[in-house]
Structure 1
């Protein structure tokens, strides 16, 4: 490390005291070897010293929220016991090295909010115990490796705002442990698989907004009965909204705006008793607004503007909107 501007480590890491007493250091017993290092959010600057790879008993390494830069040193491959690796919110650059796949005990890999470039290495699939993968806010390019589908313990995958392109690998939708999928803000194309939810019974969060996806919204999304957030906004989806969406009663956030959707708003939307954010704006929806929508007492924001809706608003409009904060609505 080349800079400790707040003198935090200078004042807490002393040669006169045991390493195990240093700030951010955790040691295991009975051998008193360093098992965890947390120096997150300390304003530190510099490169990662290769000597870090000598901490062979390390299980958790959190250096997030600093100003570390440069490439990741190959010596980190010696950390065979590592389960948590968090380098997010720094200034690391270069490719994500293929050797990360050798850290086969990892359960959490967080490299988001850096300046990593190049492609996502398919070797990530070697981390068979991985549960959380965070690569958001980097300028990563290329396609999403289909090999990620081999991570059969994966629960959360975040790749927000990169420069990823190509279609969504079908293999990802076979990971039955997935709870959260987030690919917002890329250049992904193609259509969603017809049986998208056949194996994703535990999925609670699906965010594919701000891409170039097309085709119809598959009705099989109704099989993801635990969905709390579904975001498909700002794509090129067409056709009608599947009527059964009203059966996704756990939904709190539904974003379908800025697409090419047509047809009417399904009356079944009135069954969304937990909905807080509903955005259907800037499509080509027609017909009247189902009266049931105006009884959604949990609704905070409703977006219907930019469509071709017709008819009259009910005289009782507003009585059911106890919590409504915003109504960007025009017929």
Structure 2
């Protein structure tokens, strides 16, 4: 055989052998075994997991674990209310098919690992009622499918990352009861799917960005117990047809109460107490026929609320 032809055939043979091996290696990190290894990094956090998460049973039958039928991979991890005392191990970033992560009401502490940004399929994150500390990591803004994010009742500090405005599918954002400071990012106006925004009981300052009042999908907004200042947009209710709850009490807001409140026709709860609002109480409040709770005390207001609907 010609020596040149022999070399070509030998090279072609090596390619056919090597490529399948590389393909197999590439698939290995995407296996259920990888999910198992990632989850075992949490096994030591409780006796319940230590006794239930064993090699003698399938990962998909472990307590708190749900696998997808289509991919047969870990799709949901619900370890809520288990009194787990731990940090989030970076290995959880290898659960590449994870859609839902619920660690509610435990004793998790420490910072959130950067590896969580690898979970690009995540739609639901609940870390509320724990002891997490440090800044809210900007990398959370790298989760393009995220719809629900709750970090309430932790000890996060620092400012709210502007990168959260990249979560264009986000519908629920709850940052209540932390130690956050600084201003609410004006970039939040980009969250045009947002229905619930709660930032109560922090140390936030500055004005509420006017762009937030242009998110027409909003149903409930809570800003109470902060240090927010400035006035409310005069046309505040123009683009909030679905708003049922607005909570602004215990801040440093000033100016007059917007007169177009009747355009928030679905309002059921309106809390403006203990600010520095002045002027007349808008008569339009009387047109809010769904209103069940109204708090205006602790301001410098004149007049009275009149029910104008017969």
Band the TM-score falls in, shorter-chain normalisation: 0.7 to 0.9
Q: CA deviation at 1:11?
A: 2.8
TM-score under structure 2 normalisation? 0.84
- Give the 3 Å change call, closer, same or farther, for CA 19–97 of structure 1 in structure 2: same
| Matched-pair contact (CA < 8 Å) for 1:156–1:181 | yes
Structure 1 counterpart of 2:100, from 41, 57, 60: 60
In structure 2, what is the equivalent of residue 182 of structure 1?
A: 222
Q: CA deviation at 1:267?
A: 3.0
Query: Deviations 1:132-157 (Å, cap 9, x if unpaired)?
Result: 00100000000000001100000000
C-alpha distance in 1, partners of 2:307/2:51? 62
Q: Which runs of 5+ in 1 are unaligned?
A: 273-331
In structure 1, what is the equivalent of residue 180 of structure 2?
A: 140
Structure 2 counterpart of 1:124, from 164, 174, 180: 164
Aligned residues: 269
- Give the 3 Å change call, closer, same or farther, for CA 4–99 of structure 1 in structure 2: closer
Structure 1 counterpart of 2:304, from 249, 265, 283: 265
Give 1:223-262 correspondences, 5 Å limit: 223-262=263-302
Structure 1 counterpart of 2:201, from 161, 166, 170: 161
- Give the 3 Å change call, closer, same or farther, for CA 2–233 of structure 1 in structure 2: farther
Q: Which runs of 5+ in 2 are unaligned?
A: 1-41
TM-score under structure 1 normalisation? 0.79
In structure 1, what is the equivalent of residue 53 of structure 2?
A: 13
Larger Rg computed on CA atoms: 2
Moved over 3 A (4+): 1-5
| Matched-pair contact (CA < 8 Å) for 1:26–1:36 | yes
C-alpha distance in 2, partners of 1:140/1:119? 6
Report the 3-state secondary structure (helix = DSSP H, G, I; strand = E; otherwise coil) of the residue aligned with 2:93: helix
| Matched-pair contact (CA < 8 Å) for 2:201–2:226 | yes
C-alpha distance in 2, partners of 1:96/1:239? 39
Query: Which structure dedicates a bigger proportion of its chain to helix?
Result: 2
CA RMSD of aligned residues (A): 1.4
C-alpha distance in 1, partners of 2:61/2:114? 28
In structure 1, what is the equivalent of residue 29 of structure 2?
A: none
Q: CA deviation at 1:31?
A: 2.7
Report the 3-state secondary structure (helix = DSSP H, G, I; strand = E; otherwise coil) of the residue aligned with 1:67: coil
Structure 2 counterpart of 1:219, from 251, 259, 267: 259
| Matched-pair contact (CA < 8 Å) for 2:60–2:67 | yes
Q: CA deviation at 1:2?
A: 8.2
